[in-house]
Amino acid sequence: MSSRDSIFKAIRQGLGRGPLDDAARSQLDARIANPPQHIRATVDDADLITRFAQRFESRSGTTERIASLADVPAAVAALAESYAIAPSAVVGTALGELSWPDGWQIDHGAATIDVMLGVSLAWRGIAETGSILMLSGPDCPITHNFVPETHVVVLPVEHIVRHYEDCWVALRERGQGAPRAMNFISGPSRTGDVEQTIELGAHGPRRMHVLILG
Amino acid sequence: MEFRSPEFKTRAVHALHDANLQKALSNTKAGFVVKRAQAAAEMPEFEALRDTAAEIKNHVLANLDHYLEKYEAAVTAAGGHVHYATDAEDARRIILGICKKANAKRITKGKSMVSEEMGLNEALIADGYEVVETDLGEYIIQLADEPPSHIIAPAIHKTKDQVADLFAAAHNKPRKTDRAELVAEAREVLREKYFTAEVGITGGNFLVAETGSSVIVTNEGNGDLTQTLAKVHIVTSGIERVIPTLDDLSVFLRILARSATGQETESYTTFSTGPRREGDIDGPEEYHVVLLDNGRSKMLGSRFQDMLRCIRCGACMNHCPVYGSIGGHAYGWVYPGPMGSVLTPLIKGMDGTYDLPNACTLNGRCKSVCPVRIPLPDLLREIRHNQFRQDMTPKRQKQALKLWRYVAERPKLYHFAERIGVRILASMANGKGKLRSLPFDPGWTGARDLPAPTGRTFLELWQAKRGDK
Ligand code: SF4
């Protein structure tokens, strides 16, 4: 008997029944198709943008408001200058064609080991916890989120939702199943593994800056 | 992983006298416990979420076969592979096979307690692979050649100075003592490993049947680099970790971080669904999930089924006074503290695990903080019952209990013995009101005094007060 078969046999033996009948199965499938809604965290803020920024900043992230997509390069350049980061970045093509200041090197490929700065477009921002949600794809490579020491994320205000559950609704409407990778990111990488004291920049970005667009 | 639970008592005594360990443990108590209490207090829905989480888990366990089938089908549809392993040996065989096929030399690993259960590192190293743990805590203990001592903070028993020594010896660099410098040094060393590993192995906190996704919840981002940069990503998880939908998952995301570290959320919650897609320029080319049974299916339908709700948050050990005094290593296997004292006898068998459930004081703090409301003290008591039924209780303990029962059932004899006892203790205390050390149990007075009786029993004093005598 294969390991799979013996495990399923043991599960059913433990539960004291054979395989479920068709009626029971379709009931469970219906639970997946129409997921029951559970209790959520109360988010009664009228202004979700402020809530998002406050929560995100509570975990050492930084935010900045910009008016249009065209402002992204200047905002990134200013940040790079203040942290003495070389004018070079990996940028997801989801952000479209941006016009970068002279001297900037922009790459749309996967992030390699020496990349110090990444710029990406957030798919959603969650006001409840102040987290962003990134979906991986050719225009939003996942290495951009984790390899660079500094990660700048552009979050259009209309992408900000109240709860996690709003992301699930949007994801199901998108209709392609789950992307290969989906990342909720709630601030810079951190560790408490040396004497329970938090240090930033364990493995992922040491710095995270969200450009709230709109 | 070596099985050293039979040595619990000696290892516990050693732990109590290990100054470094005691220093490290004292750092942790305030951290996790205080932060969890704050996080719980700040969220009015927290208790209701715990109820819901327990209900969802119960629903899954009652229909585990169906949800596993659904999950498996969704992973397969996304181009991934699901493997089932009945026990640790089976799991090692599967994973060694995948690594061999991938022509791997270097393997990076994110934190996975299930892989510890599998004894995976030892097997991979024996087969000639270089295995690099990338979670900072796991990396530290790998350098120290020690097992984890906590399920979410594996190096919690190490002080900063010990970490500095380990790094200086392993990295061939001047010894750093600043915490930030130590973290930066590990970052630099591990970076190169991520980019050159052929296989990346991570755990899976949750498996979502609806989408076929495995989910990890981390703070460091090491799991993400591990699974993104290697050609082959292998997820190790237990068969009980499946949940039906993303909406069910939200409930657990709201309680896991709060219970574990007292955070509202960790830095990263990452979903992986199959290998890289058409057009993707990064991500693994192969995606495997190895689901371990290792005694879990046997718990279904038993008195211990509730244990399968566990989401490995670590709250029970953070709040356990026994764990807080001796740390995780004394427990001698993968899982320490209250949840480990239940799981170890159930997975490894009753032989050699006698002391684990008996070390518990039944104070109930673990149960009061467990986010999925596992009645840990009841389960521990149930294991004690089983030990008694199987006649495993040590002879001396049984004789002592018999003697106590004989005396306790005879009030006159009981009071007589008591009167003698308090008089002896009172004369030993010599009017000082306390005893510095007990001749028959010096351990008990090792770190405290025994308040000595005044010379008369409670009953005598009571009767005197009422004027009976
Ligand atoms: S038993 Fe409960 S408290 Fe302990 S690790 Fe599991 S879920 Fe957390």
- Of the candidates B47, B239, B234, the one whose C-alpha atom is nearest the C-alpha of residue B131 is B234
**Strand partners of residue B213:** B208
* Assigned token pair, B194: 């991520």
| pLDDT over 80 (residue A186) | yes
Q: Give the tens place of pLDDT for each residue, A117-127.
A: 999 999 999 99
Interface of B with A in 222-281 (CB under 8 A): 222, 224-225, 228-229, 239, 244-251, 253-254, 261, 263-277, 279-281
C-alpha–C-alpha distance, residues B298 and A14, integer Å: 6
Measured between CA atoms, the residue of chain B closest to residue A15 is B301
CB contact under 8 A, A8 and B65: yes
User: What count of CB pairs under 8 Å joins A to B?
Assistant: 274
CATH architecture of the region A48-213:
3-Layer(aba) Sandwich (3.40)
Angle, CA of A56, B280 and A211, to the nearest 5°: 25
Residue A115 pLDDT class (50, 70, 90 cuts): very high
Angle of helix A3-15 relative to helix B64-77, nearest 10 degrees, comes to: 150
Interface of B with A in 12-41 (CB under 8 A): 24, 27-28, 31-32
CB atoms within 10 A of CB B398: 12
The domain spans of chain A are: 3-33, 48-213
Contact B205, B179 (CB under 8 A): no
Residue B438, phi then psi, degrees to nearest 5: -95, 125
Contact B255, B52 (CB under 8 A): no
Span from the CA of B348 to the centroid of ligand 1 (angstroms): 19
CATH of B5-298, one of 3.40.50.10420, 1.20.1640.10, 3.40.640.10, 3.40.50.300: 3.40.50.10420
Helix (H/G/I), strand (E/B), else coil: B128: coil
- Of the candidates B43, B2, B7, the one whose C-alpha atom is nearest the C-alpha of residue B254 is B43
Span from the CA of B184 to the centroid of ligand 1 (angstroms): 32
Set of chain B residues whose Cβ sits within 8 Å of the Cβ of A205 = 221
Q: Give the tens place of pLDDT for each residue, A143-182.
A: 999 999 999 999 999 999 999 999 999 999 999 889 999 9
**Separation in Å, CA of A54 to nearest CA in chain B:** 13
Alpha helices in B102-178 (DSSP H): 113-118, 120-126, 136-144, 160-171
The closest residue, in CA terms, to atom 8 on ligand 1 is B313
CB contact under 8 A, A38 and B52: yes
pLDDT computed for residue B430 by the predictor: 81
pLDDT computed for residue B433 by the predictor: 82
What is the CB < 6 Å shell around ligand 1? B 310-316, 339, 370-372, 374, 376
**Separation in Å, CA of A29 to nearest CA in chain B:** 9
Measured between CA atoms, the residue of chain B closest to residue A42 is B45
Nearest CB partner across the interface for B211, out of A110, A163, A178: A178
Q: Is the ipTM of this complex over 0.95?
A: yes
Contact A176, B273 (CB under 8 A): no
Amino acid letter, residue A109: G
Residue A193 pLDDT class (50, 70, 90 cuts): confident
C-alpha–C-alpha distance, residues B245 and B269, integer Å: 16
Nearest CB partner across the interface for A39, out of B52, B70, B137: B52
Residue A78, phi then psi, degrees to nearest 5: -65, -45
Angle of helix B19-41 relative to helix B246-260, nearest 10 degrees, comes to: 130
**Strand partners of residue A151:** A118, A208
Per-residue model confidence as pLDDT tens for chain B (469 residues): 789 999 999 999 999 999 989 988 887 777 899 999 999 999 999 999 999 999 999 999 999 999 999 999 999 999 999 999 999 999 999 999 999 999 999 999 999 999 999 999 999 999 999 999 999 999 999 999 999 999 999 998 999 999 999 999 999 999 998 999 999 999 999 999 999 999 999 999 999 999 999 999 999 999 999 999 999 999 999 999 999 999 999 999 999 999 999 999 999 999 999 999 999 999 999 999 999 999 999 999 999 999 999 999 999 999 999 999 999 999 999 999 999 999 999 999 998 999 999 999 999 999 999 999 999 999 999 999 999 888 888 888 888 889 999 999 999 999 999 899 888 888 888 878 888 887 777 777 877 888 888 888 888 889 888 876 5
Ligand 1 atom having least distance to the Cα of B312: 5
Q: Which pTM value belongs to this model?
A: 0.93
Alpha helices in B102-135 (DSSP H): 113-118, 120-126
CB atoms within 10 A of CB B175: 13
pLDDT computed for residue A48 by the predictor: 97
Measured between CA atoms, the residue of chain B closest to residue A187 is B267
pLDDT computed for residue B469 by the predictor: 52
* Assigned token pair, A1: 């008997």
The domain spans of chain B are: 5-298, 399-466
**Separation in Å, CA of B462 to nearest CA in chain A:** 51
Alpha helices in B273-410 (DSSP H): 296-299, 315-318, 321-326, 337-348, 355-358, 365-369, 376-389, 395-408
